[in-house]
Amino acid sequence: MFVIDKNNKLPLYIQLYKEIKKDIIANYKSGDKLHSIRKIASLYNVSKITVESAYSQLVVEGYIESYPKSGYIVTDMTNINSDPNKIQTITKIQKTEDYLYDFFPARLDNKSFPLKLWKRLLTKVIDNSLNLGSYPCGQGEYGLRTQIAKYINEFRGVKCQANQIVICNGFADSMGLLAKIIKKDYDTLAIENPGYQLTSNVFDSFGYKIKKVGIDNNGLNLDALNNSNANLVYITPSHQFPTGVSMPISNRLKLIQWAEKRNGLIIEDDYDSELRYSSRPIPSLQGLDNHDRVVFIGTFSKSLSPAIRVSYMVLPNHLLPLYQQSFDFDISRVSIITQKTLEKFISDGHWDRHLRKIRTLNRKKHDLMKKLLLDKLGNSLKIESQGGGLSILINPSVEFNWTLLKQLSSKKRIKLYFDKEISGGDWEAIHMGFGGLEEHEIESAINIFSEIWKQCILS
Amino acid sequence: MFVIDKNNKLPLYIQLYKEIKKDIIANYKSGDKLHSIRKIASLYNVSKITVESAYSQLVVEGYIESYPKSGYIVTDMTNINSDPNKIQTITKIQKTEDYLYDFFPARLDNKSFPLKLWKRLLTKVIDNSLNLGSYPCGQGEYGLRTQIAKYINEFRGVKCQANQIVICNGFADSMGLLAKIIKKDYDTLAIENPGYQLTSNVFDSFGYKIKKVGIDNNGLNLDALNNSNANLVYITPSHQFPTGVSMPISNRLKLIQWAEKRNGLIIEDDYDSELRYSSRPIPSLQGLDNHDRVVFIGTFSKSLSPAIRVSYMVLPNHLLPLYQQSFDFDISRVSIITQKTLEKFISDGHWDRHLRKIRTLNRKKHDLMKKLLLDKLGNSLKIESQGGGLSILINPSVEFNWTLLKQLSSKKRIKLYFDKEISGGDWEAIHMGFGGLEEHEIESAINIFSEIWKQCILS
């Protein structure tokens, strides 16, 4: 029999409530009457108030009902399982593979994050002026939006006001929000092929039709776009993903004209334009547009950290009322602490300095990897894309055993990324990410890679 | 004429590039030839390398093309706007209204956030072990998921493993993710009426049909649910939003049986169950389910802070493969710094202490507001819901001028929340939030409110 344990941390009434609940489940049926409060109190040697409290909790949860004069009656509990502690089957869904070197194409060197500075700024922004009891502004903190507007105006040529900016927690979040608010006006998305598959995934999940449009040396093929009959297009004009092509000014203007004529919309994904090593960043397409037809998407993932989860979207003015009427207008997507810290980071001038630092750092890595690849494999390899971002794209220039490459790299614990898997198209190239590797690691990694590569050449 | 300014911060070649670009846009047409590099160099008194750099940037951006022997030719730029600095029309979309007292129903007192402690934990978790250069685990940090699994097991009776938990950035985010991954198997969502409108909004945006199902004294009406023919239902069983009813055990069991029979799914939104003032928290419905049919949704917004943006979702095991195959599996939704801080907050025992503190604090406010309302307006007002959460719901018990109430409260700068506006249904009640007000503010606010209320009584 149950004995109340007066040394147990749990209040007496809760111990009792748990015990009676177990008893009801195991031994009572619907309509059965419980013992009176007086009886239980004397049985367990506890006060009547303790029993009353235990019984009221059982009433609140609906196990028993209280009837004046009749006392406490067990309710209908057909189907309750007699073993409420049974643990469900466990499916392990995560495994982490351990690679010697991982050429992930969108990773930064952990050391490049300004850890100490960030910590200092964090502790500065956390004070009583922060309202942590309320929902923050859905669109993002006004101060941060002002800083971003200033930055993208100066460095990316984007023409916008803070009220056009929405702070999001990553590219997919920005795309999801956009897909939601323009759904009534657009049903088909044209997207570069090869292109960034995540974009198709997001728009597909909202029920959009996806039309893949080919690219050429000038980026998106505009004739093919015209033929697609889509009025909405997603492009990466300054550094096409994955081929690295940039769209020349003439085509940018034609594209804007296309959008103007059709009342269409251009989604400009400016994912890594900060990182260009052989020229200055190319000004945004948004800045050329005078007809309010461009949505500009930026992120801090490629140049500051993918782990702080901050991106942003610049809406054209005509979409602002739509956004404002959508339920998302009230939903803040990023911690106010992160937003305030980032705002201070930019306004205090650290962002400019950081960009210069990270550009130099990654230019060095880029140049090193390019040199090593050409020195070691120049005869059998061609470079498809280089000069920007966090990876170099390569292909064999000779007959090549791709299957063996995959087998050997896996055996040697080298993680490679293939464009067919990333972009889901027909075009193939290997993404050789350098951002996440330190310089000495690049040397060792390319050494092993070259040995593998040579074995895959079919001569 | 343009003169190079050697004191300008900008490198010479960029000043020159900007100048030539302006010149091209204003004075050149497609096919025109630019001056030779030598000519420009002597014209502006700069080195040939400076001119070359300026020209190559213009080539990269596609303004000009370089032809061997012919030099630099302007490309086709029909349609370029001659005023690239023109600022677009500004639509002001934000206004902050200034209220004397705001009865927002889901706000916490700013002072209740453990600011100093949070700051201390933040600085502890920010060290070199944090990888800020990589994308964090899409599902959320394993450590945080483990802490949450432990907490909801002990305090909410939820049976789950860390691998079933997904960390999200708020309720809408959790709902959006769920709506995405189960879309192939469900097309209709049954939802409580009155109920939480945000849920309908999210599912509607993914193309689900919404069926409103009435509620009674036991919460969701199960017969009406059966008749709705939906296989997917959203409920707030422990503290129905907005009526505050809790679903008794017998109905919980029937609901689980309903889901089992139809291969259906129950979304259990446990939004504020930590805050109950007149009984213990009611154990989750999820914990009663042995057939893997319940998705459990929790949040830190109601009991810690809505500004840090952390919520979580417990998926039943059979949905894990679906989630794993979805593109969302790779997308992390919350800053790793926030996640690590929260993990430490829970594992160090602060969360338990915080919950006790915040429960006591809000119980006091709840009791105070309830007492004041009844003392002052007991004859003309009935309480629809009390005893939990961050608000008390009231209605007039006499003939009443609602329009006047809205007019007068606006005039006196008191912000009231009406259920018809929040839930979008036919049921009406006023949500009197106390969480965001301090005790002395509750007194003053209710004083003003009472004066307004009395004027609205039609006698």
pLDDT at site A71: 86
**Which one of B126, B247, B323 has the shortest CB-CB distance to A115?**
B126
Is the pLDDT at A94 greater than 50? The verdict is: no
- Segments of chain B assigned to CATH 3.90.1150.10: 102-112+353-455
* A209 contact residues in B (CB cutoff 8 A): none
What is this model's ipTM?
Answer: 0.86
Whether A61 sits inside 8 A of B94 (CB atoms) is no
pLDDT tens digit string along B247-302? Answer: 999 999 999 999 999 999 999 999 988 898 988 888 999 999 999 999 999 999 99
Asked if B287 has any chain A CB less than 8 Å from its own CB, the reply is yes
Whether A170 sits inside 8 A of B77 (CB atoms) is no
Q: Which of A55-59, A434-438, B243-247 has the lowest average pLDDT? A: A55-59
pLDDT tens digit string along A241-256? Answer: 999 999 999 999 999 9
Of chain A, the percentage scoring pLDDT greater than 70 comes to 95
* B290 contact residues in A (CB cutoff 8 A): 81, 83, 86, 88
Beta strand segments in A194-255, E:
209-216, 219-220, 232-235
CB environment B76-92: b (16+ within 10 A), e (fewer): bbeebeeeeeeebeeee
Whether A235 contacts A266, CB under 8 Å: yes
Closest CA to B268 of B216, B301, B317, B233: B233
**Three-class secondary structure of residue A116 per DSSP:** helix
- Segments of chain A assigned to CATH 3.40.640.10: 116-349
Provide the phi-psi class of B309: left if phi over 0, else alpha when psi is between -120 and 50, else beta. Answer: left
pLDDT at site B88: 42
Residue of A nearest to B56 (CA): A279
* B109 contact residues in A (CB cutoff 8 A): 133
Whether B57 sits inside 8 A of A279 (CB atoms) is yes
Whether A206 sits inside 8 A of B206 (CB atoms) is yes
Q: Model confidence at B96, in pLDDT bands (50, 70, 90)? A: low
pLDDT at site B5: 74
Residue of B nearest to A85 (CA): B159
Write down the pTM of the prediction.
0.87
Q: Which fold has domain A102-112+353-455?
A: Aspartate Aminotransferase, domain 1 (3.90.1150)
Closest CA to A415 of A391, A399, A398, A396: A391
* A377 compared with B282, residue with greater pLDDT: A377
Q: Which residues sit opposite A33 in a β-bridge?
A: A73
Size (chain B), residues: 459
Q: Which of A9-13, A168-172, A192-196, B145-149 has the lowest average pLDDT? A: A9-13
B positions 209-248 inside 8 Å of A (CB): 218, 246-248
* B239 contact residues in A (CB cutoff 8 A): none
Is the pLDDT at A38 greater than 70? The verdict is: yes
* B246: CB partners within 8 A, 6+ apart: A60, A61, A62, B219, B237, B238, B239, B240, B282
Helices (H), A378-418: 402-411
Closest CA to A311 of A229, A413, A202, A224: A202
Is the pLDDT at B91 greater than 50? The verdict is: no
Closest CA to A285 of A240, A243, A318, A323: A240
* B247 contact residues in A (CB cutoff 8 A): 62
Rounded to whole angstroms, the Cα distance separating B121 from B17 reads 49
- Segments of chain B assigned to CATH 1.10.10.10: 12-98
Alpha-carbon gap: A175 to the closest alpha carbon of chain B (Å): 13
End-to-end CA distance of chain A: 83
Is the pLDDT at A90 greater than 60? The verdict is: no
Asked if B345 has any chain A CB less than 8 Å from its own CB, the reply is no
Name the pairing type of β-strands B232-235 and B265-269: parallel
pLDDT at site B284: 94
Testing the interface with A: which of B123, B150, B217, B335 to mutate, by most A Cβ within 10 A?
B335
Is the pLDDT at B93 greater than 50? The verdict is: no
Residue carrying the six token digits 């220039």: A397
Of chain B, the percentage scoring pLDDT greater than 90 comes to 71
Is the pLDDT at B453 greater than 70? The verdict is: yes
Please compute Rg for chain A using Cα positions.
30
DSSP structure class, residue B74:
E
Is the pLDDT at A368 greater than 60? The verdict is: yes
CATH code linked to domain A12-98: 1.10.10.10
pLDDT tens digit string along A116-174? Answer: 999 999 999 998 789 999 999 999 999 999 999 999 999 999 999 999 999 999 999 99
Q: Model confidence at A458, in pLDDT bands (50, 70, 90)? A: very high
Q: What average pLDDT does this structure show over B377-399?
A: 95
pLDDT tens digit string along B401-447? Answer: 999 999 999 999 999 999 998 888 889 999 999 999 999 999 999 99
Residue of A nearest to B435 (CA): A133
Name the pairing type of β-strands B232-235 and B381-385: unpaired
Is the pLDDT at B111 greater than 70? The verdict is: yes
Is the pLDDT at B322 greater than 80? The verdict is: yes
Is the pLDDT at A318 greater than 90? The verdict is: yes
pLDDT at site A87: 41
Q: Which of A77-86, B99-108, B299-308 has the lowest average pLDDT? A: A77-86
Asked if A340 has any chain B CB less than 8 Å from its own CB, the reply is no
DSSP structure class, residue A8:
S
Q: What average pLDDT does this structure show over A436-444?
A: 95
Q: Which fold has domain A116-349?
A: Aspartate Aminotransferase; domain 2 (3.40.640)
Is the pLDDT at B83 greater than 90? The verdict is: no
CB environment A1-26: b (16+ within 10 A), e (fewer): eeeeeeeeeeebbbbbbebbbeebbe
Is the pLDDT at B163 greater than 50? The verdict is: yes
